[in-house]
Chains A and B, each alone.
Chain A
Amino acid sequence: MPCIFIKPADELVTLPKNSNLTALTESNSSPISFGCRVGACGACAIEVLEGISNLSVANQSERDFLTSLGYAESCYRLACQCSLKGDITIRTID
Chain B
Amino acid sequence: MNRCQNTGLERKKPFLNPIEAAKVRQEIDAFLDLQIEMWKQTVPYSTHFEGEQVHKLYYQRHMIETAWRIRLMRVAESKAIPEIAKCSPEAAQIWSNYQMEEMLHDEMFIQDLEKSGVSRADLLNTEPYLSTKLLAGFFSYLLDHEGPLGTLAYSYLVEYANVKLEPKKIEAMKKSLGETVIAGQIAHSYTDTNDDHPGEVWNAIRYIIKDEQDIANLKKYLEEFQDILAMYFREIYADIVESAQQQQVAV
Contact = CB atoms under 8 A, between A and B. Distances in A.
A23 interface: yes
A26 B203 contact: no
B18 A19 contact: yes
A18 interface: yes
Contacts, number: 22
B189 to A, nearest CB: 19
Nearest to A26: B13
Nearest to B202: A18
A16 B90 CA distance: 18
A89 interface: no
B22 A16 contact: yes
B199 A18 contact: yes
A26 B18 contact: yes
Nearest to A15: B18
Assign chain A's interface to a size class.
10 to 19
A20 B200 CA distance: 10
B13 A1 contact: no
B251 interface: no
Interface residues of B, number: 13
A23 B14 CA distance: 10
B18 A16 contact: yes
B89 to A, nearest CB: 10
Interface string B13-24: 110011101100
Interface string A19-32: 11011001000000
A1 B203 CA distance: 17
A7 interface: no
Contacts of B17: 26
A15 B18 CA distance: 6
B7 interface: no
B19 A14 contact: yes
| Closest 7 A/B residue pairs (Cβ) | A16-B22, A23-B18, A26-B13, A15-B18, A19-B18, A16-B18, A26-B17
